[in-house]
Amino acid sequence: MLPSCGLLRPDAKPWGESKMRFMTAHTSTPTHQPLASHFWAELNTRDFSALDPSRTVAVLPLGATEQHGPHLPLSVDTVLVEGVVKAALTHLDVADPVLVLPTQTLGLSTEHTAFAGTLHLSPQTLIQVWCDIGASVARAGVKKLLMFNAHGGNVGLMDVVARELRAQHGLIVYSSSWYNLPIDSSVMDQFSTDEHRFGIHAGDIETSMMLALSPERVTMSAAQNFSSTSQDRAKHYAILGNGKSAKLGWHMQDYNPQGAAGDAAGATALKGEALVHSAGEQLALLLKELVVLPLSTVRV
């Protein structure tokens, strides 16, 4: 039986299942009724007039389509960002005014362009696209935007776009990448200190998450402990190798010619599930904080 008043069905699943049914409930128009869906594209244009502008948060999932070594598909960063968002939604109530925008599946992947299959958008294009999406969010009357990311290459542009949207539309824009969320230390401790520092691409962490989210796309027979040249520099250079004081403008082949860094051979679905679950929990908490954050946070 369907719940009343435009509520999302509790068993509703994002991405890949469009069978969600929910009441439209347009006959009565309470000021701020619960969302018909947590997905922006599943609302209809009239639903936006019922949003509470002081509370509603739009989430822009940012992924990439880029090489991830010999054992993982190009879709990793997109699968991961959607997996964490999906996990977060299970912790949200239908009354939580959070709207997930369409996932951006192409990102800034300059550092992976030497590898076949990588789809790369220029910085100029991405800044324009994300700014245009932000402008559309503002036009819909939504004043809070979270850019939620799974690809390290996107981070620099997220900073730029957040400030542009603040300047041009007075939006409250936060940027966050799943790996910077305060994930439970017992979950993070599943991975070695070296893995956290050097396993930056298609290593134990990303491979474990893929084994949890999309195991049919993982070729474990090709997974190895992929070394990184930055491990050598860390041993020989006190400042440029300390991982904090200086940053190399690297391309992936500078680290490893196979396009991966980290102990992918040590990956397990169990570790990945714990990571996705904990990241989802923390993202849900972040979203709840954003919902109650006052609009006076930015002064326009």
Question: Which residues sit at the interface with Zn ion, rule CB under 5 A?
Answer: 76-77
Q: How far is the CB of 137 from Zn ion (least distance, A)?
A: 26
C-beta of residue 97 within 8 angstroms of C-beta of residue 146: no
- The residue (of 220 and 300) whose beta carbon lies closer to Zn ion is 220
**Residue among 76 and 145 whose Cβ is closer to Zn ion:** 76
Minimum distance from residue 66 beta carbon to Zn ion (Å): 7
**C-alpha to C-alpha distance for 24 and 15, rounded to whole angstroms:** 20
**Cβ–Cβ < 8 Å for 55, 288:** no
In terms of CB distance, is 200 or 290 closer to Zn ion? 200
Residue 150 CB, shortest distance to Zn ion, in Å, is 7
C-alpha span between 225 and 221 (Å, rounded) = 12
- Provide the b/e sequence for 201-236 (b: ≥16 CB within 10 Å): bbbbbbbbbbbbbbeeebeeeebeebbbbbeeebee
Of residues 77 and 273, the one with the C-beta less far from Zn ion = 77
Shortest Cβ 200–Zn ion spacing (Å): 8
Q: What distances in angstroms separate CA 172 from CA 100, 129, 182, 294, 296, one per listed residue?
A: 16, 18, 21, 10, 9
CB 201, min distance to Zn ion, A: 6
Smallest gap, in angstroms, from Cβ of residue 262 to Zn ion?
10
Which residue, 134 or 199, has its beta carbon nearer to Zn ion?
199
Q: Which is nearer to Zn ion, 57 or 260 (CB)?
A: 260
The amino acid at residue 218 is V
Paired residues of 225 in beta bridges: 263
Q: Which residue is nearest to Zn ion (CB)?
A: 77
Q: Name the minimum Å distance from CB 51 to Zn ion.
A: 33
Bridge-partner residues for 98, per DSSP?
A: 57
**Residue 98 CA, distance from chain mean position:** 15
Contact 269, 207 (CB under 8 A): no
Look at residues 176, 180, 162, 177 and name the one whose alpha carbon lies nearest to residue 297. Answer: 162
Q: Which is nearer to Zn ion, 134 or 280 (by Cβ)?
A: 280
Quick check: 41 and 97 in contact, CB under 8 A?
Answer: no
